[in-house]
Amino acid sequence: MSQVSVSSSSTVTPVQVNRKGSPVICLHDIRRVYDLGEVQVQALKGVSLEIPKGQFVALMGTSGSGKSTMLNIIGCLDRPTSGVYQLDGVDVSTFSPSQRADIRNQKIGFIFQSFNLLPRTSVWENVEAPMLYSGVPKAERARRIEAALKVVGIPEKTKALPNQLSGGQQQRVAVARALVNEPAILLADEPTGNLDSTTSEEIMRFLQNLNREKGLTLVMVTHEHDIAAYATRILHMKDGYLTTDEMNPSVVGQG
């Protein structure tokens, strides 16, 4: 058993959880304050957290709880006001915007609610885009694109445009794009928010299998309990604090 320090407005309560593997994400006393002129907003108020390699984590909370800020910091889209964040053993807490862009490209894959596909660009070119920034050779790009589209189950859609695909297929393209740079972690921000319930279940089963079969570390923000139920570990945030940290008994040990 190991301990995670979970901050609250009054006391700090250790939460006991079972974990395996070394941490790929390590946050220590992370605080994020936004200066809005005469007002300062404390989005995160001293969050400490470790996520081991290969774990599937759901991050829950109401609007304003701090979950999106937390995901932005984990994804190096933002940096903390104070505290230490180590990603895959590298302290990225004080990285410049260009350094954060490099680390995102090298180690992080993103899946968004709105898919964020280039509308006038083919599936092949959408999936290829992150590798162009990484300088991956053409032959290697082709190999990775074919492999990623096969993994997500749409190898025949290479020439299609996004508007020729269903919502579920577009999200699969987004997953393929997130995978081609072989990231250390995959971050999903409300990945089923624009999908119907049947397609949502399909995408979540796919992400769950990706975590189990490929051992990919996955952190997902959601406000839906039925979506969070696919994760092995569920975190809740409230008012900038991490309030609960629990393993999901219905998933742990499966697969």
Per-residue pLDDT reduced to its tens digit, 133-176: 888 999 999 999 999 999 899 999 999 999 999 999 999 999 99
Entry pTM: 0.84
DSSP 11: -
Q: Assess whether pLDDT exceeds 90 at residue 20.
A: no
Q: Which amino acid is at 101?
A: A
If one compares 3 and 221, the residue with the highest pLDDT of the two is 221
Lowest-confidence segment of 19-28, 30-39, 107-116, 166-175 by average pLDDT: 19-28
If one compares 119 and 9, the residue with the highest pLDDT of the two is 119
Count of other CB atoms within 10 angstroms of residue 80: 23
Of 5-9, 37-41, 81-85, highest mean pLDDT? 81-85
Q: Assess whether pLDDT exceeds 50 at residue 196.
A: yes
- Which domains occur in the chain, in start order? 54-76+96-247 (3.40.50.300)
Q: Assess whether pLDDT exceeds 70 at residue 8.
A: no
C-alpha to C-alpha distance for 92 and 87, rounded to whole angstroms: 7
- Which residue shows structure tokens 């807490």? 93
Instruction: Count Cβ neighbours within 10 Å for each residue of 139-157 and write b for 16 or more, e otherwise.
Output: eebeebbeebbebbebeeb
- Give pLDDT, residue 158: 95
Q: Assess whether pLDDT exceeds 50 at residue 128.
A: yes
- Give pLDDT, residue 21: 58
C-alpha to C-alpha distance for 131 and 142, rounded to whole angstroms: 10
What is the 3 state secondary structure string of 157-201?
CCCCCHHHCCHHHHHHHHHHHHHCCCCCEEEEECCCCCCCHHHHH
C-alpha torsion angle, residues 167, 171, 172, 173 (rounded to 10): 100
C-alpha to C-alpha distance for 123 and 249, rounded to whole angstroms: 38
